[in-house]
């Protein structure tokens, strides 16, 4: 039992170091820039920063292609700068977790360079096959870019295994030296002061014939070993957040019996929030939550609306995927692999009601909310950029040239990805400074919701009970903890709705024109695309 399950009531904030704030005028965000903006994150009211990979890398997959795990990419700063960032964050009460791609390295990593050499003693640090036909049941993840999970290496004279880009060879966890080396990487960053890790792409650590090579028992055994090591060597309050994009039963397996990862993303619930808005009913959300098993007391889901990747549609049916594409990605250019490469605000057509409704769900469904930088100010995207770059553009701090991301004297060509130029989302339209000053802004609304949520620990740690009723435009549930209980009612339709909740007879005081208390229960009336949080006795 960890002494301090802080992650169960925390709000996480994902920010891309290259895109947040450039302190030295080279057009690329850096660690010193993040330090300059910690004041903002503290003001906003988030608790933990998630830093996507900042290690040295050829940057062919946004840094998820690591060439040196014990370094900071020179564009971003140094290990010393990272120590300062951790220290400055901790002084403001902000924790920081590092995103660690442990499934694969870059093909530029010295381990791989050595392993491919004929006769190398390190050959079995990676996964090889003469024919490149082994493990045919494993799906291809980057469908738009790769035709096979094997790539021929003329130097090694063999094929190597990779679940993502061909320049990202998978490490071979059957070799115990690999697992040890990865633990040493973790120790290095934990010693520096990190509060834990997002463990990138963990379902794929091991391969076995006759399986789809995901969620294997050997993978869970290794993750339990990581957990044991960290608990023993660092005490109990560092956190492991798995990135296991799986159906609920398989995703919940990453919690073990409370002895594996503390957190895992709930990938399947995310697209269903958007489906509910488009279909004006909540049946898909209810179904997936009912299919989600209970999880150990010390564990927590991570829930999110968007992140640095495409909005993944891997965990929906083929029919639902077509529906999502039709509604949210009618232009082919906005589709990528099995997903949609757009940001939150453009996805919902810049509709403030939809943005508030989705955040209302994010802050009350079971799990810790994870925000993606820029969504709190309604930032746009740029689908003219390749791959996922269009959702990774610089944070818009003010309405000046370069949005206050970097100095206005910097050559625009040095800023990559470029600042969003679409009319409705240009820095003049969406920026932190203007929204901080405007009490009615989206930013101030998100901030005040975070403050309200902080006063509702039941949203993080409480029980969750979906209420039965006969209006499927409304999701109604109760979050309870000790003597506290809050009713959440969300109307996903464009029309006013009412729900009759028999089980709440006598538990809410009237006194609000939208509430009708009668002996048979409680009737809650909710406007189009609105949500209510009501304290229950
Ligand atoms: C994870 C990351 C993604 C990356 C992939 C391969 O899914 O979120 O950005 O491309 O792993 O490392």
Query: What pLDDT score was predicted for residue 518?
Result: 83
Does the annotation count 36 as an active-site position? no
Q: 307 C-alpha to center of ligand 1: Å?
A: 11
| Nearest-CA residue for atom 12 of ligand 1 | 64
Q: 142 C-alpha to center of ligand 1: Å?
A: 10
Catalytic pick from 81, 207, 243, 375? 243
Residues 215, 247: contact at Cβ < 8 Å? no
Q: Is 200 a pocket residue for ligand 1 (Cβ < 6 Å)? A: yes
Query: What pLDDT score was predicted for residue 516?
Result: 86
Q: 110 C-alpha to center of ligand 1: Å?
A: 21
Contacting residues for 441 by C-beta, under 8 A, at least 6 apart: 377, 434, 435
Q: Is 275 a pocket residue for ligand 1 (Cβ < 6 Å)? A: no
Q: Of ligand 1's atoms, which has the minimum distance to the CA of residue 164?
A: 6
| Nearest-CA residue for atom 7 of ligand 1 | 201
Question: Domain ranges in the chain?
Answer: 6-102+176-454, 110-161, 463-535
- Report phi then psi at 245, rounded to 5: -80, 90
User: DSSP per residue over 301-356, as a string?
Assistant: EEEES--SS-EE-TTS-HHHHHHHHHHH--SGGGEETTEE---HHHHTTT-HHHHH
Q: Is 141 a pocket residue for ligand 1 (Cβ < 6 Å)? A: no
Q: Is 201 a pocket residue for ligand 1 (Cβ < 6 Å)? A: yes
Q: Is 14 a pocket residue for ligand 1 (Cβ < 6 Å)? A: no
Q: Of ligand 1's atoms, which has the minimum distance to the CA of residue 142?
A: 10
Is the CATH number 2.60.40.1180 carried by domain 463-535? yes
Query: What pLDDT score was predicted for residue 537?
Result: 85
Angstrom distance (rounded) from CA 459 to CA 478? 9
Identical fold for domains 6-102+176-454 and 463-535, yes or no, is: no
Catalytic pick from 22, 61, 200, 376? 200
Q: What's the CATH code, domain 6-102+176-454?
A: 3.20.20.80
3-state DSSP of 211-265: CCCCCCHHHHHHHHHHHHHHHHHHCCCCEEEECCCCCHHHHHHHHCCCCCCCEEE
List, for the chain, all residue ranges whose pLDDT scores fall below the cut of 50: 1-2
Q: Is 61 a pocket residue for ligand 1 (Cβ < 6 Å)? A: yes
Cα distances (angstroms) measured from residue 338 to each of 62, 63, 143, 320, 321: 19, 21, 8, 12, 8
CATH superfamily label, 110-161:
Oligo-1,6-glucosidase; Domain 2 (3.90.400.10)
Q: 201 C-alpha to center of ligand 1: Å?
A: 7
Q: 451 C-alpha to center of ligand 1: Å?
A: 31
Q: Is 63 a pocket residue for ligand 1 (Cβ < 6 Å)? A: no
Query: What pLDDT score was predicted for residue 3?
Result: 60
Q: Of ligand 1's atoms, which has the minimum distance to the CA of residue 165?
A: 6
Q: Of ligand 1's atoms, which has the minimum distance to the CA of residue 101?
A: 12
| Nearest-CA residue for atom 8 of ligand 1 | 309
Q: Is 165 a pocket residue for ligand 1 (Cβ < 6 Å)? A: no
Contacting residues for 386 by C-beta, under 8 A, at least 6 apart: none
The model scores a pTM over 0.95 = yes
The pLDDT tens digits of the residues spanning 484-534 come to 999 999 999 999 999 999 999 888 876 777 888 888 899 999 999 999 999
Does the annotation count 75 as an active-site position? no
* Strand order across the 311-312 sheet: 311-312, 339-340, 335-336
The pLDDT tens digits of the residues spanning 63-90 come to 999 999 999 999 999 999 999 999 999 9
Q: Is 380 a pocket residue for ligand 1 (Cβ < 6 Å)? A: no
């Amino acid at each position: 039992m960890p002494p301090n399950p802080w992650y169960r009531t925390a709000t996480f904030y994902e920010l891309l170091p290259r895109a947040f704030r450039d302190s030295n005028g080279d057009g690329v965000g850096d660690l010193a820039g993040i330090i300059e903006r910690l004041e903002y994150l503290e003001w906003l009211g988030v608790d933990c920063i998630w830093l996507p990979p900042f290690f040295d890398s050829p940057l062919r997959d946004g840094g998820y292609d690591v060439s040196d795990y014990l370094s900071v990419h020179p564009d971003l700063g140094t290990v010393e700068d990272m120590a300062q960032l951790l220290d400055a964050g901790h002084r403001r009460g902000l924790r920081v977790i590092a995103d660690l791609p442990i499934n694969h390295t870059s093909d530029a990593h010295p381990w791989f360079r050595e392993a491919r050499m004929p006769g190398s003693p390190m050959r079995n640090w990676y996964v090889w096959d003469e024919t490149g036909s082994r493990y045919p049941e494993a799906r291809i993840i980057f469908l738009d870019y790769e035709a096979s999970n094997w790539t021929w290496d003329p130097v090694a004279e063999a094929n190597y295994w990779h679940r993502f880009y061909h320049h990202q060879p998978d490490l071979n966890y059957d070799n115990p030296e690999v697992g040890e080396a990865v633990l040493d990487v973790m120790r290095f960053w934990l010693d520096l002061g990190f509060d834990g890790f997002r463990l990138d792409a963990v379902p794929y650590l091991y391969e076995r014939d006759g399986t789809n090579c995901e969620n294997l028992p050997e993978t869970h055994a290794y993750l339990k070993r990581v957990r044991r090591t960290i608990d023993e060597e660092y005490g109990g309050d560092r956190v492991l957040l798995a990135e296991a994009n799986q159906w609920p039963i398989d995703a919940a397996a990453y919690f073990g019996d409370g002895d594996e990862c503390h957190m895992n993303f709930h990938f399947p619930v995310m697209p269903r929030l958007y489906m509910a808005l488009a279909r004006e009913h909540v049946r898909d959300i209810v179904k997936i939550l009912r299919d989600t098993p209970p999880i150990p007391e010390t564990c927590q889901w991570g829930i999110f609306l968007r992140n640095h990747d495409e909005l993944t549609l891997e965990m929906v049916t083929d029919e639902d995927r077509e529906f999502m594409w039709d509604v949210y990605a009618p232009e082919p250019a906005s589709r990528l692999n099995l997903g949609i490469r757009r940001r939150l605000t453009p996805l919902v057509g810049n509709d403030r009601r939809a943005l508030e409704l989705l955040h209302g769900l994010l802050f009350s469904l079971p799990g810790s909310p994870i925000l993606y930088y820029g969504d709190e100010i309604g930032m746009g995207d740029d689908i003219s950029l390749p791959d996922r770059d269009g959702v990774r553009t610089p944070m818009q701090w003010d309405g000046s040239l370069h949005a206050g991301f970097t100095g206005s004297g910097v050559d625009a060509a040095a800023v990559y990805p470029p600042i969003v130029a679409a009319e409705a989302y240009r820095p003049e339209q969406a920026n932190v400074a203007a929204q901080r000053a405007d009490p009615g802004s989206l930013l101030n609304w998100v901030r005040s919701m975070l403050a309200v949520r902080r006063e509702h620990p039941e949203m993080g740690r409480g029980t969750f009970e979906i209420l039965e009723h006969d209006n499927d435009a409304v999701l109604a549930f109760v979050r309870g903890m000790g003597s506290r209980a809050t009713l959440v009612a969300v109307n996903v339709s464009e029309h006013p709705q009412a729900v009759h909740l028999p089980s709440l007879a006598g538990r809410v005081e009237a006194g609000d024109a939208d509430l009708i208390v009668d002996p048979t229960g409680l009737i809650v009336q909710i406007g189009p695309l609105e949500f209510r949080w009501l304290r229950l006795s």
